[in-house]
Amino acid sequence: MFAKKSLSYEPIPLPDRHSMTDAEMAAAAKDFFDTMCRRHSVRDFTDRPVPQTIIEDCVRAAGRAPSGANHQPWHFVAIGDPEKKHLIRLAAEEEEKKFYDGGAGDEWLRALEPIGTGVDKPHLDIAPWLIVIFAQRFGEFDDGTTFKNYYVPESVGIATGFLLAALHHAGLVTLTHTPNPMRFLNGMLDRPASEKPVMIVVVGHPSEDATVPAVAKRKKSLDEILTVYGN
């Protein structure tokens, strides 16, 4: 929570400094790329428990993401309680039914066909953890007054990327799930109306017979995603 009296610029020496050779940097970049190549969106989970401390450390990593004015406009809710997870599943499937019954439109549904998704979401029950990410339109000072947050979608998107990378680095698999609309999550999880739920991240271990859609392995080439103006 921010205090009004502390809102002043005070530069401090860079607290952490990396000193790596070009070769070490290249090796580190390649190692991280190889690690992320093994990241997959998984829909087949086992109920193998995941210690809460691992989830907490991964959320801590997400909380280190940069944000507009350093307002950190996010809140994460981790749900391991089976009853709460089941209620989320029922509500999410209700929204998904409307989506697949025509709410999405034919073009969107055709785009999803190679992914193999549908109304049933058993992973919301089976996976040991669900992490719901909320975007905060407003923050609150220590005296209870509010302030506007800036670049909220961008900031929350970066933090979400940090979270997914941290979970994968910890040896877990994830699935990003975005039932639309998601306002039911505010009431279920006691979050204020000023927060917008943007994603459910399903977290756990893959089942022995887990599969991924073949199309998910097709990634754009570097030429398609990068333009360089070198020196």
Neighbours of 64 (CB within 10 A): 10
Longest dimension (CA), the chain: 57
In this predicted model, what pLDDT tens digit does every residue of 24-52 receive, in sequence order?
999 999 999 999 999 999 999 999 999 99
Which domains does the chain show, CATH number per domain? Answer: 43-207 (3.40.109.10)
pLDDT tops 70 at residue 1:
no
pLDDT tops 80 at residue 5:
no
In this predicted model, what pLDDT tens digit does every residue of 50-84 receive, in sequence order?
999 999 999 999 999 999 999 999 999 999 999 99
Question: Would the pTM of this model clear 0.75, i.e. be above it?
Answer: yes
pLDDT tops 80 at residue 153:
yes
In this predicted model, what pLDDT tens digit does every residue of 95-128 receive, in sequence order?
999 888 877 788 988 888 888 888 999 999 999 9
